[in-house]
Structure 1
Amino acid sequence: MNPPLDPPSPPITELPDDFWVGAADGTDPNALRRVATRFGITPASAPHVSSYGIWLDELGWALHAPIALGFTPLRLDFSAGATGLRLRQAGRRQPLGRAIGLKPGIRLHVVDATAGLGRDGAVLAQLGCEVTMIERSPVMALLLRDGWDRTAPAEAHTRVSVYCDDARHALDQLASLPDAVYLDPMYPHRDKSALVKKEMRVIRDLVGDDPDAGELLLAALDCGARRVVVKRPRGAPTLPGPAPLRHIEGPNTRYDIYAPHDSAVTQRPITNTPSPSKR
């Protein structure tokens, strides 16, 4: 089960000045109060049409974008649509499972250090992994927790924990060493689907890019995991830092695989950006 929403503190990533939070009548007022306090925002009485915000109704939390973008509110659902289908069809021999190193009868602990929408982490949980999801955007972390608690497959529900933190800090605070760390830093999506393009545009507008992806890679290599996997578009350069030992490619994606304790990997010291612990 996921921990409760992180205690009130300044958000790890800055929210837009006009970001809003609200809830429909009949929803849990304590849930709205906790989130509004966490974000330092006075609750709105109705969704705003010209700015980003999150709204709680009987179906859970949803991200709203300015109406001019023509964006359907984003509510994470791991049981329906393309995400639900992907979880039902997940297999260890697919590129993601091979990159992580899944084997029959062995349950791995994987840290998804850039959880985002949680789709890859959910696949790993469905395949039997214990998954620690770390997301530094408090908005995305809230949507992810809410969506997973409502719609996760029953057999995978308890295998996932979601934390809101800067992964560069959180990787140094893990209670036990993970078998693998998974990174999927933000990059320009070339998917031809208009829905995906619009979804990623909204998320990028809200959370920004990942200019510190190279630092995050070094933090992952330094945390004691046996394997670090970085998801990249096919044809994209590797992240700054040590070269990966090998790659596994899918139709549009490449997984760069690092073995931190292999002599072929030369680690460099990193400078962590201070951030409050949410653990």
Structure 2
Amino acid sequence: MSRYQLIQTPQRLELHDALDPKIGAVYVDFLEGKAQHRRLFGGGKSQDIAKAVGLHKLKNPHVIDATAGLGRESFVLATLGCRVTLLERSPIVHALLDDGLKRAQASDDETVRSIAQRMTLHHIDAHTGLAQCCTHEPADVIYLDPMFPERQKSALVQKEMRFFHEVVGDDHDDDDLLDIACQYAKHRVTVKRPRHAPELANRKPAFVISGKAVRYDVYLGKATSQ
């Protein structure tokens, strides 16, 4: 029996640790909890992520989240008016995302439904998926959030990072992904990093937007750098 199992509950699809059931499940929820709180009280376009993506310059841009994970940043960007294409290569994480997105699209909350309609999910590796997606619709911004050991000590973060490292594994090809993203992004590539982490691929960004715990390294896209 596999240690990590997808279980369909009456409410949602959940990922469980069969050897340590006490730690609880991992799932995607765009309706309540942190997603709802950030949608209502997160600060809108004054958030660092909005500045890093360039929402003060770009109106309703097409953003490709090439490392979608549990989709939190994608939901924030869609809340701010972006059309977001989510790429996720892990079949397990994709299944969780797909379940969460479908529940949001079927929500009784019209605002949540409209946000979810701006999100499109693909089960594909970004290294090949970026080329395919950008051929279909060019990306104004490509967003990258590579897996990195979290310094936060909250039980939730520890649980999710443990699941991710066990189920998905480490991202050993992030450096290549940055190079590919810079080839296809029209305006910018935005990379989320822990505040004191080294730059991805040791590549110096055009500028940095830094918060208390994380920073955003911004690389100019082909249309902007010309």
Structure 1 length as normaliser, TM-score?
Answer: 0.73
Where 1:155 maps in the other structure, the secondary structure is helix
1:57 deviates by 2.7
Where 2:200 maps in the other structure, the secondary structure is coil
**Candidates 155, 172, 178, aligned match of 2:114:** 155
Residue of structure 2 equivalent to 1:58: 10
Matched letter for residue 127 of structure 2 = R
**Candidates 99, 105, 109, aligned match of 2:62:** 109
1:160 deviates by 0.2
The unaligned stretches of length 5 or more in structure 1 are 1-17, 20-50, 266-279
1:105 deviates by 8.3
- Is 1:242 paired with 2:194? no
Would the aligned equivalents of 1:132 and 1:160 in 2 still touch at CA under 8 Å?
Answer: yes
Residue of structure 2 equivalent to 1:172: 131
Residue of structure 2 equivalent to 1:26: none
Matched letter for residue 98 of structure 2 = R
Equivalents in 1 of 2:81, 2:154: separation in Å? 30
Residue of structure 1 equivalent to 2:73: 120
Equivalents in 1 of 2:24, 2:52: separation in Å? 33
Matched letter for residue 93 of structure 2 = M
Would the aligned equivalents of 2:145 and 2:191 in 1 still touch at CA under 8 Å?
Answer: yes
The unaligned stretches of length 5 or more in structure 2 are 106-111
1:67 deviates by 3.5
Matched letter for residue 234 of structure 1 = R
Where 1:214 maps in the other structure, the secondary structure is helix
Would the aligned equivalents of 1:217 and 1:241 in 2 still touch at CA under 8 Å?
Answer: no
**Candidates 178, 184, 202, aligned match of 1:223:** 184
1:190 deviates by 0.6
Figure out how many residues of one structure are paired with residues of the other and give that number.
Answer: 217
More strand per residue: 2
* Higher mean C-alpha deviation, range 190-199 or range 63-72: 63-72
Matched letter for residue 165 of structure 1 = I
Residue of structure 2 equivalent to 1:34: none
Would the aligned equivalents of 2:188 and 2:224 in 1 still touch at CA under 8 Å?
Answer: no
Distance 1:77 1:105, change over 3 A: same
Distance 1:84 1:178, change over 3 A: same
1:89 deviates by 2.2
1:240 deviates by 0.7
* Higher mean C-alpha deviation, range 226-235 or range 256-265: 256-265
1:104 deviates by 8.0
Residue of structure 1 equivalent to 2:109: none
More helix per residue: 2
- Is 1:212 paired with 2:173? yes
Asked which structure has the greater CA Rg, the reply is 1
Equivalents in 2 of 1:191, 1:83: separation in Å? 19
1:76 deviates by 1.2
- Is 1:187 paired with 2:187? no
Residue of structure 1 equivalent to 2:95: 142
Residue of structure 2 equivalent to 1:272: none
Where 1:73 maps in the other structure, the secondary structure is coil
* Structure 1 segments of 4+ aligned residues over 4 angstroms from their partners: 262-265
TM-align CA RMSD: 1.9
Residue of structure 2 equivalent to 1:85: 37
Where 2:127 maps in the other structure, the secondary structure is helix
Matched letter for residue 178 of structure 1 = A
Would the aligned equivalents of 1:108 and 1:179 in 2 still touch at CA under 8 Å?
Answer: yes
Structure 2 length as normaliser, TM-score?
Answer: 0.90
Equivalents in 2 of 1:53, 1:67: separation in Å? 10
Question: Identity across aligned pairs (percent)?
Answer: 40
Distance 1:53 1:159, change over 3 A: same
Residue of structure 2 equivalent to 1:203: 164
